[in-house]
Amino acid sequence: MPRKLKLDIEFTPEFSLTGVVCAQKDYRLCWLINKQLDTDLKRLQDFIFRPDNTSNPGRFSVFHHNLPQLMKRYFLVSNKSNENTLLGDHRNLDYLFLIKNPGDDVLTRNISKELRSIPAVEAALNLDITGKKTGLFLYDFEIYLGKALR
């Protein structure tokens, strides 16, 4: 009897993920982050994602800043759409701050501290990216970036 072979490929995202709780609108938070981190977050086209196989996909705003000298990219993504959330396990988070190619944990911890020091930000915490739902979101986000950053 022939043996069935199963190919198991794991997706390892190159992101660090920080959850942000802030009641401000996305453009206002971007302005505050730009002042605090000395960045220039610019809006990209909306990220369309269907979390948890819901019938209606959500449109999530995305802001981007490129750091070519450090080979890093910053993204601010809204976690909430009309009736959907990107990360269902973290429904209380308003925004996700992603760093592509984060390198060491020192940068991620420093970014979290900087975000917490913004007066309008109520909380900023580092999130684990190993969950199945988080991995699905990051995989789809990578595909979206390939199209949006051309």
pLDDT means over runs of 10, the chain (150 residues): 74 81 94 93 90 75 90 91 81 91 72 92 86 76 86
Residue 110 maps to a domain: yes
User: How many separate domains does the chain show?
Assistant: 1
pLDDT for 41 equals: 94
Residue 129 maps to a domain: yes
pLDDT for 105 equals: 62
Residue 120 maps to a domain: yes
pLDDT for 108 equals: 73
User: Cα–Cα distance between 103 and 3 in angstroms, integer?
Assistant: 41
pTM, to two decimals: 0.85
Q: What SS3 class is residue 143? A: helix
Phi, psi (degrees; rounded to nearest 5) at 50: -115, 90
Token pair for 116: 């917490």
C-alpha distances in Å from residue 21, one per residue of 18, 35, 69, 95, 115: 10, 18, 29, 7, 10
